[in-house]
Amino acid sequence: MYYNYTIMKKIKNTLLTKTEAEINENSYIMALESSCDETCCSIVKAGRECITNVVASQIKTHTQFGGVIPEVAAREHLETVNYVISQAFNESGLKPEDISAFSATAGPGLVGCLLVGLNAAKSLALVYDKPFLGVNHLNAHVCANYIDTDLEPPFIALLVSGGHSQIIDVKTYEDYTILGETIDDAAGEAFDKVARLMGLPYPGGPVLDKLAREGNSKAFSLPEAKVGEYDFSFSGLKTAVLRLVKSFEGKELPVNDICASFQECISSTLFKKTKKALEQSGYSKVVLAGGVAANSGIRNKILSLQNEGYKVYIPPMKYCTDNAAMVASAAYFSKTFDNPDVEVFSRVKNLLSV
């Protein structure tokens, strides 16, 4: 399908620009997201108005393995993708002909999983003779903040997901500078690993967050890594928790207090560095993005910046974790349009590239 699509587009010479594709404030974009363990399809009007947001989670499947098995996830995406697409059309009352462009996450993510959403969206674009746009998943997480809001750049974004932790200077819709990032584990990875070493079930992050609310965040003092101004390092913190857990061998583990102390440590590091970047930038707006933006400790800390006069944007839970509405929004705000040559990629190139 990939080759057919590209060749046909080239023969017809119909690689469109955004204006030619008539992407404007009346446009509906359909997006698919299948980078990890959720099969999602959304339709978003003009990058901000979410018409429908269908999410089929694979959590039940992967819980029995204690984590995501890429091959199993890819097969489940294949079984579910047609269902989420028809559900999006049914819920919205829109027809394929009403869609101005089709888009999908191209990466980073699990290659076998990405291929399912990308090829489904390319097929729809080909069949209905519409433009196609491959989207960078990390940029999509940032763009989740445009949905149902009036947010416009410039702003500072704290992007915290399962695979990435970055502080970004978002100058315009298409001009990002990464000010700092993790030098080892991502924030979500740290949550998941710490949860696992305490014997908590998959997915670790949300479970740890829930238990932390019952614990004392001052019970244990955990180390904050000393790295570059806006960089992060969470592997030392993870090792400190491991030592702490081992020190309780043969005794009852104070799980809630460890969760609360860990969450406090990680969220205060993220908060301090984001605040510093915000002060340095002179911007008035700060944005939280990525799956870990669902964490109550981090949300509360970033939200407290409101008390200092900053405008804070935090997506509702449904747009924090993986969803396709953010992908449709990223497609809408993208400068390039109709890139049928795009292929899936597993690792990040930069925040905007596909």
List residues near Zn ion by CB under 5 A. Answer: 161, 322
Does residue 117 touch ligand KG4 according to CB under 6 A?
A: no
* C-alpha distance across the termini of the chain, in Å: 19
Nearest residue to ligand KG4 by CB is: 291
Residue selected from 107, 204, 215, 340 as contacting ligand KG4 according to rule CB under 6 A: 204
From the list ligand KG4, Zn ion, none, which binds 321 (C-beta under 5 to 8 Å, kind-based)? ligand KG4
**# residues near ligand KG4 by CB under 6 A:** 21
Question: Residue 27 or 267: which CB sits closer to ligand KG4?
Answer: 267
DSSP assignment of 248-265, as one string? TTTS---HHHHHHHHHHH
Residue selected from 107, 206, 315, 340 as contacting ligand KG4 according to rule CB under 6 A: 206
Residue selected from 117, 203, 215, 340 as contacting ligand KG4 according to rule CB under 6 A: 203
Residue selected from 107, 131, 180, 188 as contacting ligand KG4 according to rule CB under 6 A: 188
Question: Residue 122 or 299: which CB sits closer to ligand KG4?
Answer: 299
Minimum separation from the CB atom of position 188 to ligand KG4 (A): 3
From the list Zn ion, ligand KG4, none, which binds 204 (C-beta under 5 to 8 Å, kind-based)? ligand KG4
Cβ atoms within 10 Å of 67's Cβ, excluding its own: 12
Is residue 17 a contact partner of residue 335, using CB atoms and an 8 Å limit? no
Q: Which long-range contacts (CB under 8 A, 24 or more apart) does 307-313 make?
A: 309/284, 310/278, 310/284, 310/285, 310/286, 311/284, 311/285, 311/286, 312/285, 312/286, 312/287, 312/288, 313/145, 313/149, 313/151, 313/155, 313/285, 313/286, 313/287, 313/288
Report which residue type is found at 236: G
Question: Residue 126 or 241: which CB sits closer to ligand KG4?
Answer: 241
Q: Which residues are within 8 A (CB) of 180 and not within 5 positions of it... i.e. 6 or more apart?
A: 166, 167, 228, 229, 230, 231, 232, 273, 277
Minimum separation from the CB atom of position 309 to ligand KG4 (A): 27
Question: Residue 24 or 300: which CB sits closer to ligand KG4?
Answer: 300
Of 17-25, 155-163, 270-278, 329-337: span binding ligand KG4 (CB under 6 A): 155-163
Q: Closest by alpha carbon to 8, among 175, 107, 127?
A: 127
CB burial string 302-341: b at 16+ within 10 A, e below? beebeeeebebbbbeeebbbbbbbbbbbbbbbbeebbbbe
From the list Zn ion, ligand KG4, none, which binds 188 (C-beta under 5 to 8 Å, kind-based)? ligand KG4
Cis geometry, peptide bond prior to residue 108 (ω within 30 degrees of 0): yes
Minimum separation from the CB atom of position 290 to ligand KG4 (A): 5
From the list Zn ion, ligand KG4, none, which binds 295 (C-beta under 5 to 8 Å, kind-based)? ligand KG4
Does residue 295 touch ligand KG4 according to CB under 6 A?
A: yes
Which residues of the shown chain bind ligand KG4 in the complex (CB under 6 A)?
36, 137, 141, 161-163, 188, 191-192, 203-206, 209, 290-292, 294-295, 321-322
